[in-house]
């Protein structure tokens, strides 16, 4: 379901190549939240990169193709399991992200997946909630 009026929030690190909030090149319905410097605990993808590096370290690859195949294979385990992706986000961060609004991102409280089912239902719930809370 696509909501034309939905506000999209991107949370980015402070890399100089990211556009700042309000930049003329951004669509009107996109907001940028920039993380403070030196705050990997606020950036869940840092945990993903740490785990990926652990899976690649101390190995010798015979070619870049072999290394790429290993990376793709490793990432596919994340693409297929939303609970694994959610595990990158600490509960305290999820609670803080939702503190100023109704739940934007479901917090796993002993059974969200059991009571709601699949990744599709999670995505639908997030879209529904976000479109109601610009």
Per-residue pLDDT reduced to its tens digit, 17-45: 888 888 999 988 888 888 888 887 788 88
User: What are the φ/ψ torsions at residue 110 (nearest 5 degrees)?
Assistant: 70, 35
Per the listing, tokens 């939240």 go with 33
Q: Is the pLDDT of residue 103 over 80?
A: no
Q: What is the pLDDT of residue 112?
A: 40
Q: What is the pLDDT of residue 130?
A: 42
The residue ranges of every structural domain in the chain are 43-132
């Amino acid at each position: 379901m696509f909501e034309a009026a939905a506000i999209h929030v991107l949370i980015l690190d402070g890399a100089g190549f990211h556009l700042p909030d309000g930049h003329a090149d951004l669509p009107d319905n996109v907001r940028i939240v920039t993380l403070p410097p030196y705050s990997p605990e606020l950036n869940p993808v840092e945990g993903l990169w740490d785990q990926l590096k652990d899976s690649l370290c101390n190995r010798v690859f015979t070619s870049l193709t072999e290394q790429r195949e290993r990376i793709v294979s490793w990432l596919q385990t994340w693409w297929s399991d939303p609970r694994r992706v959610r595990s990158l986000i600490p509960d305290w961060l999820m609670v803080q992200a939702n503190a100023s609004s109704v739940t934007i991102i479901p917090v796993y409280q002993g059974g969200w997946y059991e009571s709601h089912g699949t990744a599709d239902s999670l995505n639908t719930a997030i879209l529904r909630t976000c479109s109601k809370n610009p």
